[in-house]
Structure formats: C-alpha cells, structure tokens
Chains A and B, each alone.
Chain A
Amino acid sequence: MTESKTLTGSSLLFEVLKDHGVQHVFGYPGGAIMPIYDALYDSDVKHFLCRHEQGAAFSAVGYARAAGTVGVCFATSGPGATNLITGLADALADSIPVVAITGQVPTVAMGSDAFQEIDIFGLSLACTKHSFQVTDINELEKVLHQAFEIALEGRHGPVLVDIPKDIQLAEVTQRLDKLSHLRNKVKLPLADISKALDLLTHAKQPILYVGGGVGMANAVEEVREFAEKTGMPSVSTLKGLGAINPDNENYLGMLGMHGTKAANIAVQESDLLVVVGARFDDRVTGKLDEFAPNAKVIHFDIDTAEINKRRTADAAILGDLKGNLPLLTTDLEISVWQQRLQQMKTDFAWRYDHPGDNIFAPAVLKTVSDLMPSNTCVTTDVGQHQMWAAQHMAFNDPSNFLTSAGMGTMGFGLPAAIGAQISRPHDTVIAVSGDGSIMMNIQELATIKRYQIPVKIVLIDNAKLGMVRQWQDLFFDGRLSETDLSDNPDFVMLSRAFDIKSQKITKKSEIKAAVEEMLDHDGPYLLQVQIDAAENVWPLVPPNTANDKMMEGV
C-alpha cells in the first residue's frame, strides 16, 4: 500500500522523473516554464543550463545514446519550444529515446496568440514518436509515465509533453502508481525463421548487414557471436559502427556512399543479405534498383513498417533481435567467399602515406583512434570530418560513436558530447567537428566552461563547408557557391575566451604530440587541425548510382 500526497503539477513532474531514475536534465528556462524551474530548485535532479534549447535537445540525445537510457530536456513555450524541434527530429530519425518537457501559456490564453505562444503540440506531430498536451491536471501523472514508456517501447523515439503554466501550478494528489499504461502494440510473429534458415544454408555468398538497431536492441553480444560462429562477412551502416568487433577478420567496414570498397563490392556480389536492425537507407543503398541485385534478404527488425519499405524481404523476422538472431546460427560452407573478401579487404586497405607536410585528415583521426582510451565515446558533427571519422576510427560499441546519421544535423557533435560526458563521467569523450559544423552550436562552449566538462574537441578545419564544396566541385562544375569559410574566427582565441585550453596544428609532424597532449589534459581541450581545403572524402558513390560504381579520386 503506497501513500498518496498532494503536490503541484511541477513537483509531480520531478516525482515522476525520480520514478524513472532521471538524474540529469538539460534545458533553458523562460516565462511559461517558470513553475517547473521553481520546483527544480527543491529537486535532487541536476539541471544543466545549455545556452540554446537546440543544445539542450542534442545534449539529451547524446546522454541517451551514450548511456542507453532516456535523455530529458526542458524548454519554455514559443521560441524555446521551437528551438527543440531540430533535436527532436534528429532523435526521431535515429530512434533515440528522449522526453522533452515544454512549458505552454496558461490554458485560458491558449489559442489567443498570446506572448510566446506557439502550437508546439501541432508542430511536434512530424518530429516526435508521440506527443501530449496536458490540459487536465489529473492526467499529468499518467501522461508523464506514458512518455517514458513510449520513448523506450519497441523502436525508441522522442516524446514531447507540453504542459500549460496553470497545469504546472495546479495541485493534484499523486497516485503513485507505476503500472504500465500501454497496451502491447507489438504483436510479432516468428513465422519466417525456418524459411530464413533455408535461405541461409543455401547461400554461398552471404553478408551480415548491421545497423543501428543492434545497439538499441542491446544485442551487440548476440550479433558478434552470430558473426563469429557463422564466419559470415559483415558490413555496417554509419549508425551500426561499433556493433561488430573491428578486429573481426571478416568485417569489411562501412557500406554505402562513403563505404569501403570491399564492403560495397561484397554487398553487390552477395547472394544473401542478413539485415539486422537496418533499413536500406538511401545513403546505404545508392541506386536502390541496383543494390545487391542478386541477393535474397532476411530482415530482422523491431518495426513492422521497415519490412518491405524499400526492399522486399524474402524472410522477415520481427521482434527482439537479442532473442531471435541466435535462432539462425548455423554452420556455413563459405570459406571461398571469406578468403576472397579477406583478400579484397587487404588489397583495398586504407593508406595514410599522404605526400607532403600538410595534415591528412584521415591520418589525424586514425592517430586519435589509436591513442584514445578503449572506452572512449566519440561524437561527430556532419560533413567530411564525419565520414572520415566513420572510415578511419575504430569503435568497440555503438554507444561509443554518436553521430547524426538519419537527419545529418550540423551542430550535433558538441552538445551531444556534453550529454555523453555527463552520462559517462569516467570515460573520455571526444567531439570530432568541422569548422562549419562547430559554429552551429558554438555557444555550448559556455556550457563546457560553466560545468568544466572535460570534453576534447578535434576540429578539422579546412575553412570550407567541405562536403558541399566537394559536391560543388564534382557535380556542379566547380561553381563554389557559399561554401567559403576563410573568415572563420580564430578558434584558439575563441576557446581561450571560454577557458578551454587549445592548440592549432598545421603539419603532419605535429599530430602525435598534439593528440597526446589533448588526451592527457584533465579538462576540456580544443585541438584545431588545419587541413588542405581541397581534400575530398573517398570513395564516393555518386547520387543515383550503384554502389560498385564508386569514385575513388579525381
């Protein structure tokens, strides 16, 4: 028998957060959320004041991804709420469990175009897994519990709860029930296991195609065991990196637009794709009609809507990957295929013997990867540096590589690193960014300063919006439109303004010592790495082209 108590909606929010084990939230106060910030004053929850609501949303995403839990962010009504939207869209695209709490103008003022009023509930429909607007204080407790359950149920995702100011102030008796409020919507048959086994045993050239769903299903161990026991060659999506042990001799690296040559050729030549927690994203498949043209497909997923969405599955296995994948473990006679791909992996291995004194970005990222502690969490922004990090750094778990994959959001890396560092205070966290991306949420250096968060920043600086510049050179006749950033601020001076130790390097001979100094430093650190502005990311599969027709340099 539990004891009920009367409290305000705002205090009830913190009781529910406590119920769900929430210790940290990221946010920014404002008029319509003041009662919640007043209740925060008496709460045990630690709040991190970010310097923009988008930073708060990305910090919540980074927190969730690094720790495998729900990230929570707060924002006020109107512009505070709209500033969350990009972060929520990012969380939706990458299936990240986030609960966003927004203040709203009082219910009597709603619909009157009141100061800082926006229909965030309406705006949330396209960028959240689900959303609520609470207009009855008696619904608040149930809704808040539901928000956490929905964020984590099935395919993870962001949930927004919009709470008008009068509901935050209203008094209610807490029911203290923690019953599940969701009916089980996931009714998933296992009907295709025998068909999948039949496909597998007849395959001569199978490939294990690993996606971000593996980490979220907490099935890294099972996928690695499957890969080891079957000896099946494997490839990974951007978000799946870390799921397969990078030392596995049959692992070929990332596939897709900037995937390895070995991975893309192997997939194109395969006769069976075993797809685990991946969704045939367009950046992975290239020209869909020509993707793995001779392959049958066994598709494991938690989301029914992903089956047959872009590629028809010959066998679909819905539900919990952790339990389902081991059912498919069997002996395979694929030694000829394995040897051929291992040879291809050797033949097409990355090279770092770049001529000249200038810094070759892949080489610096490889050095960081080789020197960083084993459980380091790396975040990235979006662009060339992101692809170089994906290609040249090694990760031993998906929770150690946080990148905006589906939405491709510049500005993600720095606040996500802050969230990751808060959730894993004893691990090294490195934000790999570009000179374009870092300026998108540069204000979060103030968050680092305020809380002395020891994030390391590796800033790959080509004074360009490098990926767009690369495409303009390759596909728009070299007409470089609005991609020059040669008037960037002095990043070393900027860092110092936020009490962040920093250094700029320009020659390859400086790389190792600089990386070691950064990693040895106790506090936050920014390492600015000047690279050649003309450097491109290779290989590249041009748009609407089959993956085996990749460009390898011009």
Chain B
Amino acid sequence: MNPMTLNKYQLVIMADDKQVVLERILQVTRYRGFLINAMNAEVNTGNNVATITMTVSSERPISLLVDQINKLIDIKGVKVDNSEVQIQQYSA
C-alpha cells in the first residue's frame, strides 16, 4: 500500500448556460486526473449564466485543471478557493 497525498480544492466556475457544459467540465476533470468530491450546479436557469461549484482532489497541481477548464469555449472564468487541504489516500 502506497500512501498518496491528495490536495483538495474548491473551484467556482462561471459558464455560458449551455446544456452540455456540465458534461464538458466533468470530462475534462476526470481526464486530467482529478476526483470530484462534491458538486453543486445551477444550470439551465434561463439567465444565460451557469454557476458550478466543485470540490476536487488530486496529486496534480490545480493549475493543470484550471487551465484546461479555462480552455473550454463555454467557460467564462474559474476561481480557486485557496484554502487547500491535504488528505491521504491509500492505494494498493
């Protein structure tokens, strides 16, 4: 069993309120090596702006995910909560 140190971050994402925007964010988050621990999404509200709050964890630096989410065409901006928490996970 190898201990793995994961850093935990909270992201606030503002996006154009397109039906597919959640799928895009989820796909990028998984592919870039981040676990989603919690998520709240206000989407399809009719006001053209979607707000997604996510708690993610990974061994990787959060800038990797932020840069990739920011590249998505529908994204208006990503903010990171700076209060980083370290958690330990064990994997075989």
Contacts and interface: CB of A to CB of B under 8 A. Distances in A.
Interface of A: 121-122, 125-126, 129-130, 133, 150, 182, 185, 303-305, 308-309
A130 B31 CA distance: 16
A125 to B, nearest CB: 5
B27 A126 contact: yes
Contacts of A304: 67, 70-71
Contacts of A303: 71
Contacts of B64: 305, 309
A304 B24 CA distance: 19
B39 to A, nearest CB: 17
A303 B70 CA distance: 11
A126 B71 contact: no
Given A125-B24, A185-B73, A309-B67, 8 more contacts: A122-B23, A125-B27, A133-B20, A185-B70, A304-B71, A305-B71, A308-B63, A309-B64
B68 interface: yes
Nearest to A146: B73
8 contacts: A121-B20, A125-B24, A129-B73, A133-B20, A305-B64, A305-B68, A305-B71, A308-B63
A125 B23 contact: yes
A219 to B, nearest CB: 21
Nearest to B76: A183
Contact of B73 (A121, A122, A130, A305): A130
B73 A150 contact: yes
B67 A126 contact: no
Contacts of A125: 20, 23-24, 27
A39 to B, nearest CB: 27
A314 B72 CA distance: 26
Nearest to A125: B27
Interface in B48-92: 63-64, 67-68, 70-73
Contacts of B63: 308
5 nearest CB pairs, A to B = A305-B67, A130-B73, A125-B27, A304-B67, A305-B68
Interface in B11-48: 20, 23-24, 27, 31
